[in-house]
Amino acid sequence: MPRQVAPLPPGEFQVVLAKSFSGTPKLQIEVIGEPNRSASIRRTEENGSGSSSEKKGDVPTDDVKELMSLIIQLRGFPSHPSKDVYGYDTKVNFTTFEIRWSNEDDDSVVEEIAGEQKDDFKRIVDSIEALSRTFAKQDSAV
């Protein structure tokens, strides 16, 4: 059964990356904002022993535009609700008022992914992680 997610207000987007396709994420990155403005970013890392650290920050407008140009490419990419078809042990969820995509959706279930799509998915994942390393530097209470 698909997740029930409340739609975002018009003009807003949310990108969530979780490093662990199933189970508790070791790393979670969340970017929330509007496509033509700066956005907030939060990076939460599991440190073991049940503790975690959280960093937050702001992503400049130009980087938000670049992120959106990358992430919009995921629209229409295949997914699978229980299998990590891209092979990177990573979940990506992208939500706007008009679009909702996740690589764990059951809308376009496939068993195998073309190499080019795997490469594109990996490039987008790497870009989201780079944004979090660059801009999520301020400590945040967990």
The answer to whether 103 and 128 are in contact (CB under 8 A) is no
Distance CA 44, CA 136 (A): 10
Q: What whole-number distance in Å separates Cα of residue 133 and Cα of residue 140?
A: 15
CATH classification for the domain delimited by 13-136, as one of 1.10.700, 3.30.1560, 3.30.160, 3.30.930: 3.30.1560
Q: How confident is the prediction along the chain (142 residues), in pLDDT tens digits per residue? A: 344 556 666 789 999 999 999 888 999 999 999 988 999 999 999 987 778 899 999 999 999 999 999 999 988 888 888 888 899 999 999 998 888 899 988 766 566 788 899 999 999 999 999 999 999 999 976 5
The structure's pTM equals 0.87
